[in-house]
Amino acid sequence: MSELRWNPLTRDWVIIAPKRQGRPDVPKDWCPFCPGSGKVPENYDVLSYDNDFPSLSKEAYIDKGYDGEVYRREKAYGKCEVVLYSSEHTKSLWQLPQDQIEKLVNLWVKRFRSLKEDKMIKYIYMFENRGEMIGATIPHPHGQIYAYSYIPKRIELELEACHEYHEQNNSCLICDMLKAETASGRRVITENKDFSAFVPSFSECPYEVYIVSKNHRKSLLEFDESEKLNFARILKEVTGAYDALFGFRFPYMMCMHQAPVNSGDYGEHYHFHVEFYSPVRSEFSQKYNAAGETGAWAHVNPTEPEEKAEELRRAYIRYRDNCGNE
């Protein structure tokens, strides 16, 4: 059974999930996400279902009296879902037809709306881990959704920064970040009517990319049909550019940041965006977190964001010219 344990030094929860240690190694010639596996329907388009080895559970229970106040514990209440982008095993996100990605966006919207109905859920986190370098051992196109009973520390810090900025400037911090990136243009990779993709000036790793909505939206639930279409389009373009960069399946973590749910107006000044991170340092090397990054949260990017943005722009053009109509 999973549980939450309080780190009093960082004032953050840690999920202790020993059940996940028992996850079996998947045979190379078998995929649980493919039709015929016995794990999923014989016919499906996009699909979400409960994770077999969840870190969070609605049945979670813990004896709260254990270890005293300094080492508080809580039940790891929540929900973990797997989201399958397609029944086709060999396809990547960018290789899916445009309308298939739109179906995926609509599934995310549907799951967000459903999960927030549980008033104990405070944050809904949609993400994708791609590639063995990230730890994803199944290449079938898929992501996950975690519904937390608390607001994770990274999101909490962003929320506080956005609130403070709005109090001081009467404007949205992420809206103003986007204006600055657009005005500069040096780090923009691609954009459309509703979204922009850029390497942020403060990027922590070489090929970090943000996708930011041009309209002030707090979550997917506020997207109109045009925004859903253009969100699908820019996801396809960014992930396509990643694979065009060096000609191999580019490993990344795709992290969707949205306002909290069931938390009053805590996220009123927040702004929807997607953050991509990768351990790739160059075509032939990997970036590792050292003591500074892990022990002090003092990130060091060994490359210049403007240089990496230019590389990604060129990769995007190659993707667009060679694969943009797929």
Q: Give me the catalytic one of 140, 142, 271, 273.
A: 142
Q: Spell out the residues 6+ positions from residue 106 whose beta carbon is closer than 8 angstroms to its own.
A: 228
Q: Residue 89 catalytic?
A: no
Q: Which residues have a Cβ under 8 Å from the Cβ of 156 and sit 6 or more positions away?
A: none
As a whole number of angstroms, the distance between CA 156 and CA 159 comes to: 5
188-191, strands of its sheet edge to edge = 47-50, 78-84, 142-148, 123-130, 252-257, 273-277, 209-213, 195-198, 188-191
CB 142 within 8 A of CB 33: yes
For residue 240, the one-letter residue type is: G
φ and ψ at 157, to 5 degrees?
Answer: -65, -40
Report the distance separating Cα 214 and Cα 195, nearest Å. Answer: 5
Find out whether 252 and 272 touch, Cβ atoms under 8 Å. no
125, containing H or E segment = strand 123-130
Ramachandran assignment for 108, one of left (phi > 0), alpha (psi -120 to 50 degrees), beta (any other):
alpha
81 in Cβ contact with 48 (< 8 Å): yes
The single residue listed with the structure tokens 């960018």 is 94
d(Cα 173, Cα 169) in Å, to the nearest integer? Answer: 9
As annotated, the active-site residues are 142
